[in-house]
Amino acid sequence: MTSVTMTVNGKKMSGEVEGRTLLVQFLREAQGLTGTHVGCDTSQCGACVVHVDGVAVKSCTMLAQEAAGAEVTTIEGMANPDGSLGVIQQAFQDHHGLQCGFCTPGMVMSAADLLKTNADPSETEIREYLEGNICRCTGYHNIVKSIQAAAATLRG
């Protein structure tokens, strides 16, 4: 067991981890941040996407120790300071971009990553970017619309 510390959603968090402990396990099990989900064991589905030092990462594919000292943002850190939904989250609600909600945290985190580098993505760019995020419920139509709407709002 090793002690690891990182900043998650602006708060310092520490815990004892084994060498094999994954970042997603640290977040879900040690810190109780259960918004980040696990949908597969082959790094394919994207339900586990978080941001580590500003970059979207599949937290099932990173060891907790590798994130030591990093700034981590999870879905729990995406709301506005007053607790209301952030722009991307709100766009998903407005455009029915989720059904069962299981893929949703990963979708929102991936969308946020995309919009950081591309303020006005085309439908094709959104679809290609989401290649690593599987949704079984929505058929993606409304996810694409949600991300386009969020992009428009963020562009102002």
CA–chain centroid gap for 77, Å, is 10
- For another protein, give the closer residue by CB, 53 or 131: 131
Question: Between β-strands 49-52 and 71-73, what pairing exists: parallel, antiparallel or unpaired?
Answer: antiparallel
Residues 88-107 touching another protein, rule: CB under 8 A, are 89, 92-94, 96, 98-105
Site string for ligand FES, 19-58 (x = CB under 6 A): -------------------xxx--xxxxxx---------x
36 binds, among ligand FES, another protein, none (CB under 5 to 8 A by kind): another protein
Determine the 3-state secondary structure of 35 from DSSP.
Answer: coil
Q: What are phi and psi of 44, to 5 degrees?
A: -115, -30
Largest CA distance in the chain: 48
* Residue 51, strand partner residues: 56, 73
69 binds, among another protein, ligand FES, none (CB under 5 to 8 A by kind): none
Stretch that binds ligand FES, among 7-15, 76-84, 120-128, 135-143 (CB under 6 A): 135-143
Task: Give the count of residues interacting with ligand FES (CB under 6 A).
Answer: 22
Q: Which amino acid is at 111?
A: A
Do 2 and 43 form a contact (C-beta atoms < 8 A)? Answer: no
Residues 49-88 touching another protein, rule: CB under 8 A, are 74-76, 78-79, 85
